[in-house]
Chain A
């Protein structure tokens, strides 16, 4: 440890620590704009100048490593004066349009000038003005506000691996420029906007909508992919106006992709259903909730009493509570085992193959910490942007080794130690070709996509197991926000909650669709009719849905459901991390799926327990292994990883039922198309892959 003194306080720090970080640990703030933890050092803004004894000039604390016996003063007269003049310089051409600037109220420049700045400027020259530019549907740039801290340039190049931003011109004319002349060809993730300390980069969804202090901030879990990013939704007048991860908490820290940051607008799409629909004389017509619920309950009771066939299809986007309650409703309330959902990853085989091993399921944190990663059969940057971000950060900070075995070019190619091309389903040969190199790794995280399933997955686990690596973890990649939760909660015809086998297996999803004997098909938040034909033409179809999808259009009763941003509960990410949902907005007329199911149960006079999130979750905690998690942790917006089972799964997995959606960064099954922002951004497939150096 290195001993130094900062402002008279004795501080100890490991060698190599920067003075700015050492001071922060000691509770001393050194102001800075360009310094940003985790990215390369820039020393561009000169705000962090400090006085160091025996050094002739003021030093930038953001690039100065601690030294033994160093005496640092952060509030010396020379430092105070330097900060004042630095800010005066930064404001030379700054328009000071704080009253109309999006950033006003949460602007770092504003805060710094308030705290350290001079009351007046000595500059009397005309300010250099450049008009605002739009680079994409979601990114706007206002050059005069820019203080050229290079944060956006670095987060795009280093953090995202895209490198779509740069600084052009020089001197007073310097400004940030997008990748292709006048427009951006990039991920449109908005990380540059989030990281901008001033209002230079603004977001197409949020700009000029509100003042930051007029919003309520609701931290919830993104409802798009299975990475389970925490997103903080900014609400004004009950309308979601912004998505970011304001406090950088949760498993994703500062990261969000285009979906998490902008695609929340599906919630207010004009196509949202706001009243129950019932088929009257062959046409769907709006009816009251009581009429719709009574009709559903009457039909359910009638079919149940005469021993008719039910089919129940659950969702990969509804909460754990809803999924648990749905399977309970189906099994106990309706007495059917025909329950399934659309599977997108072979977690069943993975759990079975890992029987007896503990701590073998990888988390989002592991992607950042494990010394080596093997990415098989997936394009992470497209399908799992958070995990891709974590792997890149791991490489940047820890020089981790990444091996890719995939069909096409993937973004990991630019830094991975080995790139093997293998067609989907034939990855195993590629993995085996890496045997010698993999065997030398002390730790390995294996991330595999949906093409690795069934026997191929068993082979992969056996192969990696045979390498003798001390610590191996696996991540089974899945499609949607609660794909994993749907599995864990037992939305399966042959497995109940916690992968416990049921006495008599029911029909799987395609079998239900192909069956001609269904009397009732109950679909909660899924759209199977987009891909399957319903052979039971006479079946009474009940659909709980946000939009009039292909499935809802065929229904006899459609019950309008709330979106994930309009309800509470928990979801489980693909890596098995349980997080809370928090209600951020409301859609008039729609109800959360749990409430809808509860009301149907009530109407049918079934006793399935209290249909409140807290009560159902208590039941999950008792029933499902691994879900007995500390409630305060998830209540405070953090994630807890579950391990649902440690032992053999009694039934054979059905790899044929795994049907991934193959989403890209800009699509998300049937939900993404309802987001105006997500559909407005241009996709440049080539731009997703940085050429190799």
Chain B
């Protein structure tokens, strides 16, 4: 499996930052970076990462299946994550999540057929002071209301 030159460079730097007998530590960041490029963790990617780190593929599977941030099915170009943990819940996160579901026509961990959006109800993302919070890919949006969310999504649709 081949990666883009940028990703190759990133992985190289990553692997170099651990002692040679602790290369296993590179597993999660490597999967995250690769996932951003491939969209999700494919079987091919699992075998490739295993080969590069020098562990049996099943040990990569263990990690991939444990962490929800690693996806084993295609994720949307814009991955909308709505927090419903306590601070967001108290400030309308639950309603916001339900609104997002209706707006996108998606449920928890679902991806739209055209691959533009995917939705996930997430646990605390550390943005309690600005609750309710939404994260789209790596960008945070604070004090989100249903109206603001509609605007956000419509804008993204236009950009797309």
Interface residues of A, Cβ cutoff 8 Å to B? 157, 162-170, 177-181, 690-693
CB atoms of A164 and B58 under 8 A apart: yes
Question: B59-70 toward A: CB 8 Å interface, digit per residue (1/0)?
Answer: 101101110000
On chain A, the residues within 8 Å of B51 by CB distance are 691
List of 7 A-B pairs having minimum Cβ-Cβ separation, nearest first: A166-B58, A168-B65, A163-B56, A691-B54, A166-B62, A179-B58, A169-B65
On chain B, the residues within 8 Å of A690 by CB distance are 56
CB atoms of A177 and B55 under 8 A apart: no
Q: Is residue B2 contacting chain A, with contact meaning CB distance below 8 A?
A: no
Alpha-carbon distance between A181 and B23 when the two chains are bound, in angstroms: 23
Alpha-carbon distance between A691 and B61 when the two chains are bound, in angstroms: 17
**A-B Cβ contacts below 8 A, count:** 48
CB atoms of A168 and B62 under 8 A apart: yes
Contact of B56 among A166, A167, A170 (CB under 8 A): A166
CB atoms of B65 and A180 under 8 A apart: no
On chain A, the residues within 8 Å of B21 by CB distance are 693
Q: Which of B7-65 contact A (CB under 8 A)?
A: 20-21, 23-24, 43, 51, 54-59, 61-62, 64-65
CB atoms of B54 and A170 under 8 A apart: no
Minimal Cβ-Cβ distance residue in B for A162:
B56
CB atoms of A177 and B58 under 8 A apart: yes
Task: List 22 contacting pairs A-B, 8 Å CB cutoff, sorted by A.
Answer: A163-B56, A164-B56, A166-B58, A166-B59, A166-B61, A168-B58, A168-B61, A168-B62, A168-B64, A168-B65, A168-B66, A170-B65, A177-B65, A178-B58, A179-B57, A179-B58, A181-B61, A690-B56, A693-B20, A693-B23, A693-B24, A693-B55
On chain A, the residues within 8 Å of B57 by CB distance are 179-180
CB atoms of A693 and B54 under 8 A apart: yes
Given contacts A165-B58, A179-B58, A180-B57, contact A170 B23 (CB under 8 A): no
Minimal Cβ-Cβ distance residue in A for B22:
A693
Given contacts A181-B43, A693-B21, A693-B23, contact A167 B62 (CB under 8 A): yes
CB atoms of A692 and B56 under 8 A apart: no
CB atoms of A170 and B59 under 8 A apart: no
Interface residues of B, Cβ cutoff 8 Å to A? 20-21, 23-24, 43, 51, 54-59, 61-62, 64-66
On chain B, the residues within 8 Å of A177 by CB distance are 58, 61-62, 65
CB atoms of A163 and B62 under 8 A apart: no
Alpha-carbon distance between A170 and B64 when the two chains are bound, in angstroms: 10
On chain B, the residues within 8 Å of A163 by CB distance are 55-56, 58-59
Distance in angstroms from B69 CB to nearest chain A CB is 13
Alpha-carbon distance between A170 and B23 when the two chains are bound, in angstroms: 24
Distance in angstroms from A108 CB to nearest chain B CB is 24
Alpha-carbon distance between A178 and B61 when the two chains are bound, in angstroms: 10
Given contacts A181-B43, A693-B21, A693-B23, contact A170 B58 (CB under 8 A): no
On chain B, the residues within 8 Å of A157 by CB distance are 56
Distance in angstroms from B18 CB to nearest chain A CB is 11
Alpha-carbon distance between A163 and B53 when the two chains are bound, in angstroms: 14
Alpha-carbon distance between A161 and B59 when the two chains are bound, in angstroms: 14
Minimal Cβ-Cβ distance residue in B for A186:
B56
Alpha-carbon distance between A692 and B24 when the two chains are bound, in angstroms: 12
Minimal Cβ-Cβ distance residue in B for A175:
B65
CB atoms of A692 and B59 under 8 A apart: no
Given contacts A164-B56, A168-B62, 9 further A-B contacts (CB under 8 A): A163-B59, A166-B59, A179-B56, A691-B51, A691-B55, A692-B54, A693-B23, A693-B54, A693-B55
Minimal Cβ-Cβ distance residue in B for A171:
B66
On chain B, the residues within 8 Å of A692 by CB distance are 54
On chain A, the residues within 8 Å of B24 by CB distance are 693
Alpha-carbon distance between A165 and B58 when the two chains are bound, in angstroms: 6
On chain A, the residues within 8 Å of B54 by CB distance are 691-693
Alpha-carbon distance between A693 and B62 when the two chains are bound, in angstroms: 18
Distance in angstroms from B141 CB to nearest chain A CB is 29
Alpha-carbon distance between A552 and B43 when the two chains are bound, in angstroms: 50
On chain B, the residues within 8 Å of A164 by CB distance are 56, 58
On chain A, the residues within 8 Å of B66 by CB distance are 168-170
Minimal Cβ-Cβ distance residue in B for A690:
B56
Instruction: Name, among B20, B58, B59, B62, the residue most crowded by chain A CB atoms within 10 Å (CB to CB).
Output: B58
On chain A, the residues within 8 Å of B55 by CB distance are 163, 691, 693
Instruction: Name, among A162, A166, A178, A690, the residue most crowded by chain B CB atoms within 10 Å (CB to CB).
Output: A166
Minimal Cβ-Cβ distance residue in B for A170:
B66
Distance in angstroms from B130 CB to nearest chain A CB is 29
Alpha-carbon distance between A177 and B20 when the two chains are bound, in angstroms: 27
On chain A, the residues within 8 Å of B23 by CB distance are 693
Distance in angstroms from A75 CB to nearest chain B CB is 36
Distance in angstroms from A692 CB to nearest chain B CB is 6
Alpha-carbon distance between A168 and B56 when the two chains are bound, in angstroms: 13
Distance in angstroms from A85 CB to nearest chain B CB is 25
Alpha-carbon distance between A540 and B54 when the two chains are bound, in angstroms: 59
Instruction: Name, among A165, A690, A691, the residue most crowded by chain B CB atoms within 10 Å (CB to CB).
Output: A691
On chain A, the residues within 8 Å of B43 by CB distance are 181
Instruction: Name, among B20, B23, B66, the residue most crowded by chain A CB atoms within 10 Å (CB to CB).
Output: B66
Alpha-carbon distance between A181 and B65 when the two chains are bound, in angstroms: 12
Minimal Cβ-Cβ distance residue in A for B51:
A691
Minimal Cβ-Cβ distance residue in A for B21:
A693
Distance in angstroms from A153 CB to nearest chain B CB is 9
Alpha-carbon distance between A168 and B61 when the two chains are bound, in angstroms: 6
Alpha-carbon distance between A166 and B54 when the two chains are bound, in angstroms: 15
Alpha-carbon distance between A693 and B61 when the two chains are bound, in angstroms: 18
Instruction: Name, among B21, B54, B61, the residue most crowded by chain A CB atoms within 10 Å (CB to CB).
Output: B61
Alpha-carbon distance between A181 and B21 when the two chains are bound, in angstroms: 26
Minimal Cβ-Cβ distance residue in A for B65:
A168
Minimal Cβ-Cβ distance residue in A for B50:
A691
Distance in angstroms from A603 CB to nearest chain B CB is 60
Instruction: Name, among B43, B56, B62, the residue most crowded by chain A CB atoms within 10 Å (CB to CB).
Output: B56
On chain A, the residues within 8 Å of B62 by CB distance are 166-168, 177
Alpha-carbon distance between A181 and B51 when the two chains are bound, in angstroms: 15
Minimal Cβ-Cβ distance residue in B for A179:
B58
Alpha-carbon distance between A164 and B23 when the two chains are bound, in angstroms: 19
